[in-house]
Amino acid sequence: MNKFKILILTLIVAAGINAYASTPIPTNINRQVIATTQNYATVNPLSVVAHPSAYLNKNIKIRAKFDKFSTLGLDYKPALRSSENYISFLIQRPDILDHNIPLSELKIFLNRDEAEKYIDLNSGDVIEFSGRVFSTALGDPWMDATNFTVISSKPKTDK
């Protein structure tokens, strides 16, 4: 009877070790991917800022609060996006809830023709954009936004 118990216990332990050994190990634990749809990984912008090289040449999608259109990063030669053809925009830091602080480490560029469609956006409006991280100049992620959607707008208030 004891030999039978030992044999069963050995088989259970061996099966558990085999199952554990066949479990895939994540290759990049630091990269926070929320979901992947249509070749775009939905990511947390703070993860992109923390690990820009992990996202280099990757298609990503971000949902965030819009902060403002800007000229940040335009015409910088190592990651050139001409101010004639592009405008950059900033999103709000998702980890700060009691103030509106832009996530200036993430340089996001949008074609000027596309941006003109959204000239009435206000700080705090929820947007979703997708595109490709094309550079990590200065240790920051630089991204071309190819798709831009307004998810919700804050109600307009009369002054």
CATH number of the domain enclosing 54:
2.40.50.140
The verdict on residue 130 lying in a domain is yes
Number of domains, the chain: 1
Distance between CA atoms of residues 76 and 87, nearest Å: 13
Distance between CA atoms of residues 44 and 62, nearest Å: 7
The verdict on residue 148 lying in a domain is yes
The verdict on residue 17 lying in a domain is no
Distance between CA atoms of residues 110 and 112, nearest Å: 6
Residues present in the chain in total: 159
The verdict on residue 2 lying in a domain is no
Query: By the 8 A CB rule, do 133 and 58 touch?
Result: yes
Query: By the 8 A CB rule, do 63 and 80 touch?
Result: no
CA distance to 150, 154, 155, per residue, from 158 (Å): 21, 13, 10
List the beta bridge partners of residue 32: none
The verdict on residue 88 lying in a domain is yes
The verdict on residue 84 lying in a domain is yes
Distance between CA atoms of residues 70 and 101, nearest Å: 14
The verdict on residue 71 lying in a domain is yes
Q: How confident is the model at residue 13 (pLDDT cuts 50, 70, 90)?
A: low
The verdict on residue 10 lying in a domain is no
Q: Whole domain around residue 129: which residue ranges?
A: 28-152
pLDDT tens, position by position, 104-133: 999 999 999 999 999 999 999 999 999 999
pLDDT tens, position by position, 71-87: 999 999 999 999 999 99
